[in-house]
């Protein structure tokens, strides 16, 4: 008996959100999406019961990408979902699962396996947060009605709350994917990044862009004029001009890159005069594979922090930690560049030698460019965006490429001229952009990768909304493109 037969009774009984029967009106989709978004913000503002003041966010600079909120019910964010997706993509890419996603039975097994992995990853992520290193310190005791919990009981209570939050965000994502517009993961990333970005502009403190310039212009904040220190303060310090420029450029570059495409002409085989185009965008796999790459780095740093807290005599070649941050060793070199202060050694903000900083930049760049290309390929194949799947979709819609026979194999060969190459180039380009944006910094400290993801996902969401509106206005289009 294979693993599928053994696991089928468990995987097919995993709780799931029922798919809608037939077409869901656009307004109802918007209502579901807005409702889940409100619920997300509500849950991020529910503090964990029994949590003591203090503690460290193990996700740290990755929080903008992994969503959620430190110390809240959504402590783990979308981290377990992304990690489970990485595991499944690697197993599927190596053809170790033996699942055919075109087979309805295997689809159910795949979805059940994904849910089970997310639940396991949620538990494995929450355990070290609560029980190791004091990252989420529990209160010594807690009174719940007539029940008194000691510290061990409070720790179990914290773990249970975090686990429930991780499961909730899994099903919230599924509700948006099946009943709303876009995906829950993308929606949560947009929500977190937008909140930080707005706060970065409007915060009534020196960290807020407009308020810091108010202090500069009124003379309440001395920047030192046009001297070396003054220019540094204007561009990289209180003035945040480089961060503003980077934020604007990321918006402009992503919108431009989304519009760069190769358009393959299509015509309907039975409806005379019905023509269309299949766009192969420069960022064909979207920027979502970047979440997977950053999640790998986040898990490496997560493991390093746990090891440093539990292993007193950890070898220096693995990592030396000061105030919870790696300053040398493997975990330092594999840590992403988060901001200008992480690599501008000539300003005195970095204590490491210049060559150590350059090695770290090189590793980050290599990881993001090569990892971005690899995960983009995995993403295209597992989301049915590859040449074979695309050719079948075009064939089933009744469309064909003018000048070519109406045959799936012929269409697939045409698609193979563009999709694989564009996927690799787009994935590598997004990785390069993410590192560049991180190095220069952004408003609100959302990290360049977070801003890149938010802008691209928002653009995709805009396109999906436009498509939904078109389908709503022209119901026949739903049947033609298999949306009914």
- Quote the CA–CA distance of 127 and 158 in Å, as a whole number: 10
Q: Where in the chain is the domain with CATH 1.10.3370.10?
A: 37-180, 207-219+233-480
DSSP string, 65-113: HH-S-TTBTTSSTTHHHHHHHHHHHHHHHTT-S---TTSHHHHHHHHHH
Structure confidence by residue, pLDDT tens digits, 24-41: 888 899 999 999 999 999
- Mean pLDDT calculated for residue range 311-323: 87
**232: Cβ contacts below 8 Å, ≥ 6 apart:** 347
- Higher-confidence residue of 225 and 65: namely 65
Mean pLDDT for the stretch of residues 466-483: 61
For residue 332, the model assigns a pLDDT of: 94
C-alpha dihedral over 43, 46, 48, 50, to 10 degrees? -150
Q: Give the CATH fold of the 37-180 domain.
A: Preprotein translocase SecY subunit (1.10.3370)
Fold of 207-219+233-480: Preprotein translocase SecY subunit (1.10.3370)
- Under the banding of pLDDT at 50, 70 and 90, the label for residue 476 is low
pTM above 0.85, yes or no: no
Reported as a pLDDT band with limits 50, 70 and 90, residue 228 is: low
**Whole-number percent of the chain with pLDDT over 90:** 23
Distance CA 368, CA 246 (A): 19
At 135-189, the pLDDT tens digits run: 888 888 888 877 888 889 999 999 999 999 999 999 999 999 999 988 888 899 8
Percent of the chain with pLDDT over 70: 93
Query: Which two tokens mark 435?
Result: 């590192």
Say if residues 73 and 63 touch (Cβ distance below 8 Å).
no
Tokens of 346: 């000539």
């Amino acid at each position: 008996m294979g693993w599928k037969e053994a696991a089928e009774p468990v995987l097919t009984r995993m709780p799931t959100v029922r798919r809608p029967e037939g077409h869901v009106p656009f307004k109802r989709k918007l209502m579901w999406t807005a409702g889940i978004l409100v619920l997300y913000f509500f849950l991020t503002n529910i503090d964990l019961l029994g949590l003591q003041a203090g503690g460290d966010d193990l996700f740290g600079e990755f929080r903008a990408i992994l969503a959620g909120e430190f110390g809240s019910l959504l402590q783990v964010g979308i981290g377990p979902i992304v990690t489970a997706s990485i595991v499944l993509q690697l197993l599927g890419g190596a053809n170790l699962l033996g699942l055919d996603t075109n087979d309805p039975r295997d689809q159910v097994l795949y979805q059940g396996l994904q849910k089970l992995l997310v639940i396991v990853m949620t538990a494995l992520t929450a355990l070290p947060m609560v029980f190791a290193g004091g990252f989420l310190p529990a209160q010594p005791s807690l009174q719940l009605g007539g029940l008194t919990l000691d510290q061990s009981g409070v720790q179990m209570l914290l773990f249970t709350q975090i686990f429930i939050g991780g499961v909730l965000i899994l099903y919230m994502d599924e509700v948006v994917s099946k009943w709303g517009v876009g995906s829950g993961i993308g929606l949560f990333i947009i929500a977190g990044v937008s909140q930080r970005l707005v706060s970065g502009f409007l915060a009534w403190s020196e960290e807020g862009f407009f308020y810091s310039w108010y202090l500069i212009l009124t003379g309440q904040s001395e920047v030192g004029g046009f001297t070396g220190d003054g220019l540094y303060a204007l561009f990289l310090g209180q003035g945040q001009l480089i961060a503003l420029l980077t934020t604007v450029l990321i918006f402009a570059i992503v919108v431009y890159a989304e519009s760069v495409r190769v358009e393959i002409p299509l015509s309907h085989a039975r409806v005379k005069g019905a023509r269309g185009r299949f766009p192969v965008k420069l960022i064909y796999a979207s920027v979502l594979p970047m979440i997977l790459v950053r999640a790998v780095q986040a898990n490496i740093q997560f493991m390093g922090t746990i090891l440093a807290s539990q292993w007193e005599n950890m070898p220096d070649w693995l990592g030396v930690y000061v105030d919870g941050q790696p300053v040398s060793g493997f975990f330092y070199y594999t840590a992403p560049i988060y901001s200008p202060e992480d690599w501008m050694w000539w300003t005195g903000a970095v204590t490491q030698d210049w060559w150590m900083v350059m090695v770290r930049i090189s590793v980050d760049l290599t990881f993001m460019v090569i990892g971005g290309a690899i995960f983009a390929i995995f993403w295209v194949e597992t989301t049915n965006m590859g040449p074979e799947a695309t050719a079948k979709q075009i064939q089933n819609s009744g469309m064909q490429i003018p000048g070519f026979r109406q045959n799936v194999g012929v269409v697939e060969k045409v698609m193979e001229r563009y999709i694989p190459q564009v996927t690799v180039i787009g994935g590598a380009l997004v990785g390069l952009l993410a590192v560049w944006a991180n190095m220069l910094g952004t408003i609100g400290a959302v990290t360049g990768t977070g801003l890149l993801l938010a802008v691209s996902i928002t653009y995709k969401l805009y396109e999906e909304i436009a498509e939904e509106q078109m389908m709503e206005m022209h119901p026949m289009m739903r049947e033609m493109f298999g949306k009914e």
